[in-house]
A and B are shown apart, each in its own frame.
Chain A
């Protein structure tokens, strides 16, 4: 296990909902190898999205430790976390979260605005081509189908050349044919050496991954 890109040890997350203490995640250990394609599955409320958000540094665990590229994350402040998210992790959301006034190309370029980097020459065209969006470059999100919107969101996650892509129910809003195409895309990215962690409800699609992690009641039921 010397090629671990991301690992978590004993991470828990609990929060207050009214008077009730909700334990979304309890003492979970997990590690992701470089180049690995991992699906996280489980029923609603099992904590799979929470696990993804914690691993992706979108929120901080109540307890436990997370390492990314061998570097300890606990205790790091937001400005440091931003740099790690920016450089190493790409996110894909169920609701796509594209900016409605930006064109396809601009939405894909958005992270560059924050990382203050220039994409290497041809990178954007390469991504658009890979995602089959070359013809759609100047279209606005409302002119796209759901599958196309999700591909734009994948493009956005790739632009900063991350080591790992994290997707939260990426096909939750898509029909099955489109979902399958998106998964083929994931598989292709994985074949190019990218690590992926994908939360999904869809067992069939989850099966396309190298490894399936099943969560139940905030704990790992099957690895």
Chain B
């Protein structure tokens, strides 16, 4: 027999209470872990997604607020346009590697929004070198050809060679390729040659935005100043876009976290209460142990070991529950947060596991210190009597 088996037997004596306390710890840890994982995964996905756009800035029509600019990236459409003259001026600026004009058009099919991107394919391939395709890319002067994103293809059951009809004139367009999954919003879009898209949707000579890649990232702010000198143009850099999205997300996150902190606090108080109660009602036993030779330290150690067993088992159960339930949490959080990136939101980071174990240990120690010290200080008779009072 050792102190560990003695503690375990003591805990098994009150199975229901021990079970409930463990459950309380487990819930607190599961919530903490899910939310921390979500937060880490969310930020990583978001910045990863923005980085993988391969675009450093967007030139957008003046009067277009940042929020609208962030919409553009995810397929929102704004009712103002740039002209080819603007594009020429942009392309002239020194330090720009690629300036690729794009037209975005949104239409509804079966009440679901669909996004069409008119693009110059060779430029897009430079901006997005990770694109891979099943089938082939269209050529810029190939009307009636298109490519689609992987998720869209799966949702709509689209195959290479299939023909879709676009625009008011129902122009037949053949799918010549399907993009391999990118993990970002490109998976959801239709891509047409820019000129074809302009014609189909009646937007000849109009551009929604010019996507810009610079030669040297450190010159982004200098180049963006030069771009802003062009009268019709406003520049949005990706860091600004990210900042805007983060602001939108931040308030929802703050609410979420305050709820969690309150939940954790309540569960910690509950755990402390249960532990103090279970120690108090056994004070006489601790008195007996002291009479038969236990030191104050022995009694404290027993109480602390018992508490740590509870909190660590609870922590383990909570982590397992959080891992199993991460999909559930993800779908819940997607409903609450205003913008959520594609891809896995919950990221299981080993350091978060350690944070949670640390949190559980801290709760365990915090909860056990008071009763442990109190019990250790009593003389054997005080302990034995206190039970009777």
Q: Are A53 and B293 in contact (CB under 8 A)?
A: no
* Interface-located stretch among B69-77, B97-105, B294-302: B294-302
Closest Cβ neighbor of B12 among chain A residues: A101
- Residue B381 contacts which of A53, A90, A115, A160 (CB distance < 8 angstroms)? A53
Which bracket fits the contact residues of A?
20 to 34
- Residue B295 contacts which of A97, A99, A114, A156 (CB distance < 8 angstroms)? A114
B residues 277-320 in Cβ contact with A at 8 Å: 284-285, 288-296, 298
B255 interfacial contact with A, CB 8 Å: no
A59-B380, A106-B1 are known contacts. Are A101 and B13 too (CB-CB below 8 A)? Answer: yes
The smallest C-beta distance from B66 to any residue of chain A, in angstroms, reads: 65
- Residue B379 contacts which of A78, A79, A91, A101 (CB distance < 8 angstroms)? A78
Q: Are B9 and A82 in contact (CB under 8 A)?
A: no
Q: Are A86 and B285 in contact (CB under 8 A)?
A: no
Q: Are B9 and A110 in contact (CB under 8 A)?
A: no
The smallest C-beta distance from A61 to any residue of chain B, in angstroms, reads: 12
The smallest C-beta distance from A159 to any residue of chain B, in angstroms, reads: 9
Q: What are the residues of chain B within 8 A of A86 when measuring CB–CB?
A: 292-293
Q: Are B13 and A100 in contact (CB under 8 A)?
A: yes
A183 interfacial contact with B, CB 8 Å: no
Q: Are B379 and A59 in contact (CB under 8 A)?
A: yes
B residues 306-365 in Cβ contact with A at 8 Å: none
Closest Cβ neighbor of A78 among chain B residues: B296
A58-B381, A59-B382, A97-B288 are known contacts. Are A109 and B293 too (CB-CB below 8 A)? Answer: no
Closest Cβ neighbor of B299 among chain A residues: A114
A78-B379, A99-B285, A109-B1 are known contacts. Are A115 and B293 too (CB-CB below 8 A)? Answer: yes
Sample of 14 further A-B pairs with CB below 8 A, known A78-B296, A114-B298: A53-B381, A58-B380, A78-B379, A82-B294, A82-B295, A82-B296, A86-B292, A93-B384, A97-B384, A99-B9, A106-B1, A109-B1, A156-B292, A160-B292
Closest 10 CB pairs of A and B: A86-B293, A101-B9, A97-B288, A59-B381, A114-B294, A58-B380, A114-B293, A82-B295, A111-B292, A58-B381
